[in-house]
Amino acid sequence: MINLRDKKGFTVVEMLVAVGLFTTIITIAIGAYIRVLKTQSFMTSIMSANDNVSLVLEQIAREIRTGDNMPSGGYSQNSIKFKNDEGDCVAYALEIDNEKKYITRATSLDDNCSLAVYSDSEALTSDNVLIEDLNFTVVQTVTENGSFERVQIEVTVNVVDPVTGEVFFTSQGGGNQLKTFVATRKYFGR
Amino acid sequence: MIKYFIKNKEGQVMFLTVVVLGAIISSVTVIAGVLMSFQLRRSADVAASARAIFASDAGVECMLYEIFGTNGDLDTAGKVSNCEDQSNDFSNKASYDIRGVESDIVEGVPRAYKSIGRVSNSVRSIDIRLDQ
């Protein structure tokens, strides 16, 4: 016959301490793991948004480089109209639609860009990108060789969850501000 | 009294449990903290990297503009002088530095240029070579 009273085991206090510590460890570990996963997901979103905006900026810069009929010096707005290499009037602008902000491109076959009616407007930035701000500033220099324009492009980018609409700030101060200059190349052939 | 505590070994299990699990908790916390800091640093680098690349690109554009558009010249440090006069410290804390590559100078004129864009610790550069 087995006498259970002779068996030695852990005391209640020992069991409580062990179970309590185990629970604490598991809670900390799972919490840390979830935070790492969230950060990883956030980082992927930032990279995706940056890639998207970088491509858009490259497209704008390329068209400005080979373009003509830029606005005159001192121009500073969130849109720009000019004539591209193929002779079409092109407009890049910051569009706001249902609290979504994105960069659009529109074209017109009208010869006079300033009066042209632009159509076929299409969004260039994707749904996970929130364009907080867009600005084109034209600096004009007049030399003996002619007048040349440099266009400063400023874009402030944040990441947005396309489903929930939640905005993630990619940098301190409200967003990642990308800034570059593009010079027109019309003088290359002189 | 001391003899009593030494002989009474029943409390050792709890003591060891507390010490070992305390060490494990500390280790897990430290590792998680290090991982988090790495992740945060990388995410900050992604944003800064994009800014540095575009600043570097602005340097190349400035050089092309000065050389082909307004006949900019190099100063004694090999920098494109007029680009230095421009405001190359951007409001987004990025900056660029463009200069001719010393090892590739033909008749006093650089054939290659290096534009370095900087944002805090992120540095990105673009090289451009002008073939005749």
pLDDT digits (tens, 9 = 90+) for B41-65: 776 688 888 889 999 998 888 888 7
**How are the residues of chain A apportioned to helix, strand and coil, as percentages rounded to the nearest 5?**
30, 35, 30
Averaged pLDDT of chain B: 78
Tell me the two tokens of residue B65: 């503009």
Is the pLDDT at A153 greater than 60? The verdict is: yes
What is the amino acid identity at position A165?
A: G
CA dist., res. A151 & res. A50, Å (int): 21
Instruction: State the pLDDT confidence band at B81, using cuts at 50, 70 and 90.
Output: low
The answer to whether the Cβ–Cβ distance between B51 and A148 falls below 8 Å is: no
- A50 has a chain B CB within 8 A of its CB: yes
Instruction: State the pLDDT confidence band at B130, using cuts at 50, 70 and 90.
Output: confident
State the average pLDDT over residues B64-86.
66
The torsion angles phi and psi of A147, rounded to 5 degrees, stand at -105, 135
> Model confidence over A169-183: pLDDT tens digits?
666 667 888 888 888
Residues of chain B contacting residue A28, judged by C-beta atoms under 8 Å apart: 25, 28-29, 32
Burial A25-40 (b: 16+ CB within 10 A, else e): beeebeebeeeeeebe
State the average pLDDT over residues B29-51.
79
State the average pLDDT over residues A121-134.
89
Tell me the two tokens of residue A35: 């935070």
Predicted pLDDT of residue A190: 43
Is the pLDDT at A49 greater than 70? The verdict is: yes
Write down the pTM of the prediction. Answer: 0.74
Is the pLDDT at B5 greater than 80? The verdict is: no
Predicted pLDDT of residue A63: 92
The answer to whether the Cβ–Cβ distance between B57 and A36 falls below 8 Å is: no
Predicted pLDDT of residue A57: 92
Predicted pLDDT of residue B3: 54
Residue ranges covered by each domain of chain B:
8-129
Residues of chain B contacting residue A32, judged by C-beta atoms under 8 Å apart: 28-29, 31-32, 35-36
Rounded to two decimals, the ipTM of the complex is 0.73
Predicted pLDDT of residue A103: 93
Residues of chain B contacting residue A10, judged by C-beta atoms under 8 Å apart: 13
State the average pLDDT over residues A43-58.
88
Q: Which range in A17-26, A136-145, A164-173, B13-22 is most confidently predicted, on average pLDDT?
A: A17-26
State the average pLDDT over residues B25-35.
82
Predicted pLDDT of residue B53: 92
Burial B7-45 (b: 16+ CB within 10 A, else e): eeeeeeebeebeeebeebeeebeeebeebeeebeeebbb
